[in-house]
Chain A
């Protein structure tokens, strides 16, 4: 089986995207962060480094909660999306 990009895998999933953000990062705290765990821990790689800035895009989020626990600085404001929105696994 050929290796597949994460983007292609996430594109297979079904989502009902909410316009309301359910996760946000506190940029002021992130500026002081050295390890930037969020950049690698997220299985959907929702956190990206844009220049010097940490950005978060919620479209591919699998709602696992790993980023919330792994960021020891408490910079991530994390909730579930509103009921009915977000990932909808067809197999699970």
Chain B
């Protein structure tokens, strides 16, 4: 007997694959999602904060039923020197009203829920199965091979995440280079919700995101992060893989060092570690987006490097949802036209160019170059911390004006006005 031919086979049940499958199933197409994890979410980790606006287009009022941790009403950016810390703190009650600006989320729970919605919509999800290869008819992809079996499809959607072996097999993506990905390592630290609320100045289900710049990366391109969940904290660091490779630092050691920093230590005091995780994330933005389609084949989400990193924003989930939805639109068109070749599938790229996905990546195309500047992780955070220390020190000696303190500190950091001007210019262009 011939195996069933699906309108689409989706490899990977992360945000990108689920969004694509959900939209297709809702439109009545035959969709199969294959996920290598024991359950959807089992392999996935992020910071993280999920921005809900894109998902809401797909599943209106999803916040009423999704397993969300806390809605984020407070954003803190902290600069670290060896011992000191300096924070910028923004809090807005307006972020605490529907449709909400963002939520902290735990992926093992959230992705499982999302995949459940996809199933409800009528798609078939098979977890615990690894897509090993693509099926070909000449130059056209006509399905996948998984667990030794063939699954024919009009279109294959590669939603297999950052390592995308499938986009490589399709000949669209090159092997990733270590400059274009960052490694995140994270601990899930359990803490009672009352303590979290008190410690972080939050009410009920409100949450905070805190990003750290400076000493925690030992000068490497990257940063630290903290997100409050209902009854836990997500604490971790993300570092460009090439920098980590060059510096010879062990990621696990770096995370321990981060946890013991005086500016972090007290935030996690009394907590118990429940899980240790690691994951890569693409960081090259528009510069490394591969060819997005070929005959019978589309690449979505992290597999296509569709992540926005500006140093302040790390958003991959919205890009995954939006690219998955654009892929679904395109597969629907292919079904209508009875043509899954590139002639129809090129519509996917057109949709991404029209939406925020490729436009945002284009707007921030200089950010990676800017973020490669080591002064951002050493000189400036130290300068800010030392300047603040100077400002607040009472040691019985004659006081200096802010400008004098700044001059002295710049001298100590070997930072010239020219450096500041150049970095300021690059920063303005980049973020």
Chain A residues at the B interface, C-beta cutoff of 8 Å: 1, 3-4, 6, 9-10, 12-13, 16, 37, 40-45, 62-66, 68-70, 79-92
Neighbouring B residues of A82 by C-beta, 8 Å? 130, 147
Mask for B163-198, Cβ within 8 A of A = 1, else 0?
Answer: 101000000000111100101010111000000000
Q: Out of A3, A63, A88, which one reaches B259, CB within 8 Å?
A: A3
Which residue in chain A gives the minimum CB-CB distance to B254?
A43
Q: Please encode chain B, from 248 to 259, with 1 for each CB lying within 8 Å of some chain A CB and 0 for all others.
A: 111110001001
User: Least Cβ distance of A77 to chain B in Å?
Assistant: 13
CB-nearest residue of chain A to B249: A40
| Chain B hits for A64, CB < 8 A | 183, 278-280
Q: Which residues of chain A have C-beta atoms less than 8 A from B175's C-beta?
A: 69
Residue of B109, B187, B259, B276 with highest tally of chain A CB at under 10 A: B276
Contact with A along B235-262 (1 / 0, CB 8 A): 0000001001100111110001001100
Q: Which residues of B contact A91 (CB under 8 A)?
A: 106-109, 188, 232, 274-275, 277
Q: Collect the chain A residues with CB atoms within 8 Å of residue B37's CB.
A: 84, 88
How extensive is the interface on chain B, given as a class?
A: 35 or more
Contact (A40, B248) CB under 8 Å given A80-B130, A91-B275: yes
Does A43 lie within 8 Å of B130, measured CB to CB? no
* B44 interface residue (CB < 8 Å to A): yes
What is the CA–CA distance of A90 and B107 in the complex, to the nearest angstrom? 9
Residues of chain B with a CB closer than 8 A to A92's CB: 41-42, 44-46, 106-109, 111, 275, 277
Q: Which residue of A lies closest to B146 (CB)?
A: A83
**B5 adjacent to chain A (CB < 8 Å):** no
With A70-B241, A87-B43 in contact, is A1–B252 under 8 Å at CB? Answer: no
List the A side residues contacting B259 at CB < 8 Å: 1, 3
For B181, give its contact among A69, A79, A80 (CB under 8 Å): A69
Which of B39, B41, B42, B269 has the most CB atoms of chain A within a 10 A radius of its CB?
A: B42
- Which residues of B have CB within 8 Å of A13? 275-277
A and B contact pairs by CB, cutoff 8 A, 5 listed: A1-B270, A12-B275, A69-B280, A89-B277, A92-B42
Q: Which residue of B lies closest to A22 (CB)?
A: B130
A16 to B128, CA, bound (A): 11
Chain A residues with CB under 8 A of B278: 43-44, 62, 64, 66
